[in-house]
Amino acid sequence: MILALTATLAIVVQDHASLRAAPRASATELVALWQGDVLEVRGENAGYLKVYDPRRERGGYLRSEAVRSVGLTEADAPELLAVLRFLRDSPGSEALGVSYGAAYLKAVPTRALTAEPFDAIARMAERLADQSSGSGEHRASVAAHLEVVGQFGVRMHSFERSGRMQVCYDGELFRRVLALPGASAEQRARAALGVTRTECIDPNLGPVLRASLDDERQRLLDGIEEHDLSAMTRSRLHARRAAVWASIAYERARRREPPTVAAQRALTELLAVQVDALGDNRRAEYLDAVVRVGAIRWGTTLPVPSPGPLTLTAAPGEPGQTCVALVEAAHGARAATRVQRCTYGIVWLASARSIAQGHALVLSVQPMESWRELWLFRANAAGWTIDVLSPGADDPEEGYVEYAGFVPGARRLLIAREVMDHGRFRRRFEELRLDDLALVRQANASELLPEFGRWQDVDWRRDTLALH
């Protein structure tokens, strides 16, 4: 909620502006002010303004060029709105823009109020939160700007994610935009995107609350009409819907409910994205959706019986566990369990593939919402073993690894990996020796590996998102 502004005001337009004890450059600096700080003007002396800082409860003198006086009457509203529109799209000026937005909301009469100032302030607050979550060089100024916008009731929340702090705007003004009947299609879509960001969900949220939140996000996004939207906003909307439906599919599978409809909806929304319309700034949103949908893509497929002597079965284990067993049928004898392993993850039996030439099987298992591993069942002199191939070597964030084919003569396993590692998207195609899983060669494009052209699995090529 934007707090009311009172008195004759001036807004600081420079960072590190010195509030001094007297109107001269040699006077003691009392405090450094930041753009967006709001001051009460109480006089002028020798190029300095005599001001009072209500946030710090301190008075002093400030050079006049460091501030701009603002009026708060109805006649001042058009000028304030013009400045707000300029600052809205000026990265680095978010705190200043929020201050002008607060002044405009004070000046504009209620009858003339639209969704535009709420949309502008919310967008700047979201951008400032993203800057605070990054690892840029100006962290001190960003922290100061957060304090500045806090005086207007712009609230942030933060939590640790993947070893770093994630700061997010709480979205109050986005919700006000959604509640205003006169908001444009673009404004409503931006607001819906602002309050449904996956990275702004507390990772410590329990499964029941998370499922409820995902349902709320789904209803909100599906309620946005696509006509009259720009190509970029429409594609952002499809990418966000894809990510949300992927989360819903995972949650349904975790509750042992059919995930097929939700997983198919996630895939449909992803395929509706026009990647070229997103530009460089929004491409990361699409890549995030690609990895999340890729992780649950087996939810769109029903298991089919394996034609060979080796089959995989899944049965409940300890509470919350699924135990996977490799069963081998022999002529004239009872089927025998060769190896078994239990997991708290989702076992996608539809992904099971038998590698007849290598006397091995592969199976996709998803232990977390956006993290899918590949289990490799293989025979050796000591019997059957199970190896787990992970999407990445570091702590789980987002990613999946999948079986892409087999080279029979060289006994090489073809796999594809896609992973988001600290915000960076990585795609790799690899050839591994089946006997010891040693890496033979890798590339960031499948066409750079000749064996992928000759021996890739036909079903994988048809269904994978790694070639999308």
Q: What is the pLDDT of residue 63?
A: 95
Q: What is the pTM of this model?
A: 0.90
In this structure, the answer to whether residues 99 and 149 fall within a common structural domain is yes
CA atoms within 13 A on the CB side of 458: 0
In this structure, the answer to whether residues 386 and 452 fall within a common structural domain is yes
Kindly indicate the confidence band of residue 445, based on its pLDDT and cuts at 50, 70 and 90. very high
Is residue 272 in some structural domain? yes
Provide mean pLDDT across the span 178-193: 96
In this structure, the answer to whether residues 288 and 345 fall within a common structural domain is no
Provide mean pLDDT across the span 265-288: 93
Is residue 289 in some structural domain? yes
In this structure, the answer to whether residues 211 and 327 fall within a common structural domain is no
Q: Mean pLDDT of all residues in the chain?
A: 91
In this structure, the answer to whether residues 335 and 261 fall within a common structural domain is no
Provide mean pLDDT across the span 205-226: 94
Q: What is the pLDDT of residue 133?
A: 85
Residue 249 has pLDDT above 90, yes or no: yes
In this structure, the answer to whether residues 261 and 351 fall within a common structural domain is no
Residue 302 has pLDDT above 90, yes or no: no
Q: Which domain holds residue 209?
A: 196-302
Amino acid type, 386:
I
In this structure, the answer to whether residues 7 and 93 fall within a common structural domain is yes
In this structure, the answer to whether residues 138 and 269 fall within a common structural domain is no
In this structure, the answer to whether residues 214 and 140 fall within a common structural domain is no
In this structure, the answer to whether residues 210 and 126 fall within a common structural domain is no
Provide mean pLDDT across the span 110-118: 95
Kindly indicate the confidence band of residue 1, based on its pLDDT and cuts at 50, 70 and 90. very low
Kindly indicate the confidence band of residue 10, based on its pLDDT and cuts at 50, 70 and 90. very high
Percent of the chain with pLDDT over 90: 77
Residue 365 has pLDDT above 70, yes or no: yes
Provide mean pLDDT across the span 306-334: 82
Contact criterion met (CB below 8 Å) for 367 and 345: yes
Provide mean pLDDT across the span 388-411: 87
Number of domains comprising the chain = 3
- 50-59, 136-145, 184-193 — which is least confidently predicted? 136-145
In this structure, the answer to whether residues 348 and 445 fall within a common structural domain is yes
Kindly indicate the confidence band of residue 279, based on its pLDDT and cuts at 50, 70 and 90. confident
The CATH number of the domain holding residue 142 is 2.30.30.40
Q: What is the pLDDT of residue 289?
A: 95
Residue 214 has pLDDT above 50, yes or no: yes
Percent of the chain with pLDDT over 70: 95
Provide mean pLDDT across the span 400-422: 91
Q: What is the pLDDT of residue 3?
A: 47
Is residue 164 in some structural domain? no
Q: What is the pLDDT of residue 45?
A: 87
